[in-house]
A and B are shown apart, each in its own frame.
Chain A
Amino acid sequence: MARVKISEWKAKQILLGEGYNGVQIRLGKKQALSASKKWVVKVDQGIKKRFKQGLVKVGVSAGEAVTATKEWEKKGFTQFIAEPVFQHENNEEQYLSLERVRDGVRLLYTKDGGVNIEEHPDKVQMLVLSTPESILSAETQTGLPHGFLVSLVEKFEKSFMTFLEINPLVVRENGVALLDAACLVDSAGAYFTREWSEDDVVKSKAKHDVEKHVEDLAATTPASLKLSVLNPDGALFLLLSGGGGSIVIADEAQALGAGKLLGNYGEYSGGPTREETYLYTKEVLALMLDSKAKKKALVIAGGVANFTDIKSTFAGVIDALSESAEKLRKQGIKVFVRRGGPNEAAGLAHMRTFLEKENLLGSIYSSVDPITAAMRDAIHFIK
């Protein structure tokens, strides 16, 4: 979903095509660098402020470049970019970015490189490109070389980019050089373009196992399944439904001073099946059972669903709960529920019967009660 980063190497390959002389280096794959050149080598995983973190080496030999990547690999990085050094003066550095906005593509440009553009809006030219004419006129206004902007915007559109930042950009009579580039693409465009693939999307953050499992599961269903681990030793674990409703419920924890006690955030929506809900719930329960918090509560909550069937999704939740019922009881965990939607009465009745039988019941609320009711009770329980 949404905007995702692709590697700098891939972005430049799209923009420069055949003429691009950068090399991608990946963990475990040998890549020969020419010994006669000096190189710039960088970690290429969408990380900001690489220079400050020591993730860039400039003007190194091929051998030194390889040594540098080996060092970074030890820190857990897996993907790098190497380019021949491009000699230039600091005052040649310019800034350019493109971003998709409601009425076209927004261009930000300044000849003064190195300025923090957010702090110096007066130095930055802002133009919205929506028609071929507006691109040509932008070329005149910025003084960028003839044809450069046309070709850049064409590639931006064709490859479903949503954000592209070139900083620094060096413009000379015989052409332009893109020294550093950051690029976001629209993941929904993957079907329509051959310019990049899932493989080029960078994964900057090492993920928790549970997050990986949910991501894999989400890739196989039209329903929406999301999970982020916030605090592995948290006290409140969430099984929430609905993109908006889940935030409202999490907000209630923050309002009652329990924001930091959340073990996870996530949501399932869009009508997952019983089986999908079962697999998703299993992941949340595994995370919860591993938490070292003394008193823990599970919050199963959501708004009044539009079309997600409460009876069948709750059947999936119950399948997973009953597998771990013994362990949940031993840890003194209670379950707090608030939900509404199609087949609400039947779903909630099953849940109540099950939780009572297993001695796991905290409280149960339906669509006539506030969406935040279960979270409120759960916080009282753990405090």
Chain B
Amino acid sequence: MSLIEQIRKNNNGIVVAGNHPAILQSILDFDFLSGETEPSVKVCLIANRSTLKLFFGTKEVLIPCVKDMAAALIVAPEAQWLLNLQSGRRVFETTNLFFQLFPKALGAHVFAENVPEKHATDLIALWGDKKIIAGPSGVGILVSGVLKLGASGGVGLAQIAQGKLTQKGSLAVVSTSGGVTNELIVATAHSGKGTSFSLSIGGDRFPITSLSRVLELAQEDSQTKAVVYFGELGGVDEYEIADLVRTKKLTKPVLAYVAGTIDEAFEERMQFGHAKALVARNDESARAKRDALHAVGVIAPETFPEFLEAMKSLPGEVLEDVSASITPLMNRAKSILSTREIVDLESTPEYVSGKKLAKSQSYAFARATLSALLGRDVSDVTAAFTESILTQLIDHGGHVSGAVNTMVTARAGKDLVSSLVAGLLTVGPRFGGAINESARTWLRGVAAGKDAKTFVEEETRAGRLILGIGHRKYRVGVPDPRVEELSRFASLLKKHPHYDFARAVEKIMTGKQGTLILNVDGAIASLTLDILTECEGLTHRELTSLIDAEFFNALFVIPRSIGFIAHFMEQKQNDEGLFRLPDELLFVHSDKKQKKRK
């Protein structure tokens, strides 16, 4: 099977390096209008952000962003393509690394114009034979209806429709110039025959995938009936075409326009827009190259209007006008704040039906809470576990800092919200906030694949506290009953690596001191990770993003808010007036001071 045919059968996942929102949006629009069910762009290498918000159809989607290629491999191991939108300075490094890490990948497009020649020739030496790499410069690769790797065919919705990019046409468009590539794609659509595929080899001196290779692709592809070529003065690429035609390696009709006869109007040879567009020797002039093409039977008209006219006589069936309608996608407005509905405002749960209580779903409140936080419906195990956490964490006595703050504020005459907020403001690294950081610790430990002993040693040496370990009251032999209860959930799972890891760490720690047991924060964190992995199918990346969004903190804040409110109400009902700490609790009095008072 030829490469282009292989691409038509593929799942063409794309890794993007760099950011160009208009190009990326056009790729998603192309995918959607071609009937794909998910975007071909799988992950973007962009520092300092974790997602990129784009439209897929009329819906908004979040494309994951990562810092480096190794992280991209974790998110999109099946990706086949690299769209490199970085500056010329970074092109070599990123492109080379991509092909090292993604050995099955088919190719790439390098967008930058200022790639050093040496870097281009190095990439040719390393990957030129094995991969299809469009560029440096140009607009990339388009396989109609299947793959859009770059700006090829334009970035506007109207352009996707006008160029019939989603319909499989019969003319291969090959061009050194990115702009003219698009001009030709539109022209193939006007001629009715449409584009089968297009590869813009770019105007640089050393295109990584050579013109000859692209023409081979056209020859091998059964969908392609003829080749439409645009070249410029400068360089000797057109002689490659002439050779291929003469040696019958290219037997499909070729229609070519070689631009640059304007150079004949000047006394001095001029450097035109593209790096290669300068006539260094006489055989590099537009006229010489046209003549060479003529000589072997390529259709090479004198003027561009004649060239467009000649396109009509090329073989290929006329496409029916069935291009997907872009109307529903027009006038999309980006969301400014929120991308999803937290609860479905259309549906109201039913509790009373026919003068009787309706049969209620089990763990309904936990379910509703998780649906709001995670944006998905959860399994019974997840719902039950969450219900257990929510219930157990409502309060842990009036001694803790949050409860104290709430009560003191209430006694000062403040309202419910002020008192609640005063309590919540104490939630952090020393109180309540440990679940989140504990989850980060277990996730990191398991992902690193280290044994617990090494892990503990490393953490200790780095001076880091292992959150989720240690209790004031409970110790080995006097277990925390809440941890006992939660731990039973492990028996419902097939695998529980995070819980096992936490227990292994506990074993090492209690070897030093009996109170360094797995505490309730550590147990909740590890089991939540295992349950979300097994029952909800969350990936490492999704779990990391939940930790970054403080989901695990929320599991404490939600129930404990109820506890604080209860403390507030009690204070209001008792109404004992302003709270004041007695002297003996505040100061350690020296004798002298006591005398003075008397």
Q: Is A226 an interface residue (CB 8 A)?
A: yes
CA distance A302 to B271 in the complex (A): 18
Known: A186-B116, A188-B115, A306-B154. A251 touches B88 (CB 8 A): no
Interface residues of A, dominant DSSP: mixed
Known: A243-B273, A247-B232. A254 touches B177 (CB 8 A): no
CA distance A160 to B259 in the complex (A): 30
Are A342 and B179 in contact, CB atoms less than 8 angstroms apart? Answer: no
Contacts of A344 in B (CB 8 A): 156, 158
Are B273 and A267 in contact, CB atoms less than 8 angstroms apart? Answer: yes
Indicate with 1 or 0, residue by residue over A1-31, a CB within 8 angstroms of chain B CB atoms. 1110000000000000000000000000000
Are B304 and A370 in contact, CB atoms less than 8 angstroms apart? Answer: yes
Partner of A188, one of B88, B124, B162: B88
For window 307-359 of A, CB contacts with B under 8 Å fall at 307, 340-345
Are B116 and A244 in contact, CB atoms less than 8 angstroms apart? Answer: no
Known: A244-B273, A246-B273, A260-B265. A372 touches B303 (CB 8 A): yes
Partner of A247, one of B139, B181, B233: B233
For window 189-207 of B, CB contacts with A under 8 Å fall at 190, 203, 205-206
Nearest-neighbour CB distance to chain B for A227, whole angstroms, equals 11
Nearest-neighbour CB distance to chain B for A371, whole angstroms, equals 6
Contacts of B176 in A (CB 8 A): 244
Are A303 and B183 in contact, CB atoms less than 8 angstroms apart? Answer: yes
CA distance A305 to B152 in the complex (A): 10
Contacts of B153 in A (CB 8 A): 306
Are B116 and A251 in contact, CB atoms less than 8 angstroms apart? Answer: no
Q: Is A172 an interface residue (CB 8 A)?
A: no
For window 89-129 of A, CB contacts with B under 8 Å fall at 100-104
CA distance A262 to B182 in the complex (A): 26
Q: Is A269 an interface residue (CB 8 A)?
A: yes
Contacts of A307 in B (CB 8 A): 20, 22-23, 151, 154-155
Known: A242-B273, A260-B265, A372-B305. A367 touches B186 (CB 8 A): yes
Q: Is B3 an interface residue (CB 8 A)?
A: no
Contacts of B305 in A (CB 8 A): 370, 372
CA distance A250 to B115 in the complex (A): 27
Q: Is B67 an interface residue (CB 8 A)?
A: no
Contacts of A304 in B (CB 8 A): 154, 159, 179, 182-183, 186
Q: Is A245 an interface residue (CB 8 A)?
A: yes
What is the interface size of chain B, counting residues whose CB is below 8 A from a CB of the partner? 65
Q: Is B260 an interface residue (CB 8 A)?
A: yes
Contacts of A187 in B (CB 8 A): 114
Q: Is B533 an interface residue (CB 8 A)?
A: no
Instruction: Closest B residue to A371 by CB, please name it.
Output: B183
CA distance A27 to B280 in the complex (A): 31
For window 225-275 of A, CB contacts with B under 8 Å fall at 226, 228, 230, 241-248, 250-255, 259-260, 262, 265, 267, 269-270
Are B179 and A262 in contact, CB atoms less than 8 angstroms apart? Answer: no
CA distance A360 to B33 in the complex (A): 41
Contacts of A302 in B (CB 8 A): 179
Contacts of A303 in B (CB 8 A): 179-180, 182-183
Are B177 and A242 in contact, CB atoms less than 8 angstroms apart? Answer: yes
Contacts of B152 in A (CB 8 A): 306
Contacts of A255 in B (CB 8 A): 261, 302-303
Known: A189-B116, A341-B159. A306 touches B262 (CB 8 A): no
Are A242 and B179 in contact, CB atoms less than 8 angstroms apart? Answer: yes
Are A244 and B230 in contact, CB atoms less than 8 angstroms apart? Answer: yes
Instruction: Closest B residue to A266 by CB, please name it.
Output: B273
Q: Which of B23, B183, B261, B302 has most A Cβ within 10 Å?
A: B183
Contacts of B124 in A (CB 8 A): 102-103
Contacts of B116 in A (CB 8 A): 160, 186, 188-189, 192
Nearest-neighbour CB distance to chain A for B186, whole angstroms, equals 5
CA distance A248 to B205 in the complex (A): 20
Are A251 and B303 in contact, CB atoms less than 8 angstroms apart? Answer: yes
Known: A104-B121, A259-B265. A342 touches B155 (CB 8 A): yes
Q: Is A224 an interface residue (CB 8 A)?
A: yes
Given contacts A245-B177, A306-B178, A343-B156, 16 further A-B contacts (CB under 8 A): A104-B121, A188-B114, A242-B180, A244-B175, A244-B176, A244-B273, A247-B272, A248-B180, A259-B262, A269-B179, A270-B113, A303-B183, A305-B179, A307-B20, A367-B162, A370-B304
- The 5 sampled A-B contact pairs (Cβ below 8 Å) are A188-B114, A254-B261, A262-B265, A304-B179, A307-B151
A residues lining the B interface (CB < 8 Å): 1-3, 100-104, 130, 157, 160, 162, 186-189, 191-192, 222, 224, 226, 228, 230, 241-248, 250-255, 259-260, 262, 265, 267, 269-270, 302-307, 340-345, 367-368, 370-372
Give the top 3 A-B pairs by smallest Cβ distance, nearest first.
A244-B177, A243-B273, A259-B265
